[in-house]
Amino acid sequence: MKIIIGNDHGAVELKKKIINHLTSKGFECVNIGVDTEDSVDYPDIAEKACAEYLKGDYDYGILCCGTGIGISISANKVEGIRCALPQDSYAAEMTKKHNNPNFIAFGGRIEYKDNIEDMLNAFFDNNFEAGRHQNRIDKMMALEKR
């Protein structure tokens, strides 16, 4: 699986942890984020990662900022992107099964009750259930056209 990953200065260490975990599972991670804590604007990172993803060579994208909130909101402004912000392993599993996001986001300054590796596993080890959920996704994505 090929993943695009972007982060701002608030999630440098988290991004490294995510890349280490996913590459240990055989994923290819393309890092377009920053590797220092020099301030950058998360909307710029989100836009760059989403544009790269939409070129079509990636399975999923991961975005990280201090809380995950700003970068996920920014990503969700890009047509064709559904970015989820799971708060634990259960939410990571359920968003994959029901919302089928093409991006997930995390916060580098958040203390999650579950470790990031377990949350990533919960997301990537599950499949979209389709059925009634596809109808809901179609409605979500139609909102972009209004």
**Residues annotated as catalytic (active site), given as ranges:** 65, 98
Distance in angstroms (rounded) separating the CA atoms of residues 33 and 25: 21
Q: Dig out the tokens for 97 from the structure.
A: 């099964």
Q: Dig out the tokens for 21 from the structure.
A: 């975990």
Q: Dig out the tokens for 16 from the structure.
A: 């490294």
Distance in angstroms (rounded) separating the CA atoms of residues 46 and 44: 5
CB 3 within 8 A of CB 60: yes
Query: How crowded is residue 71: how many other Cβ atoms within 10 Å of its Cβ?
Result: 32
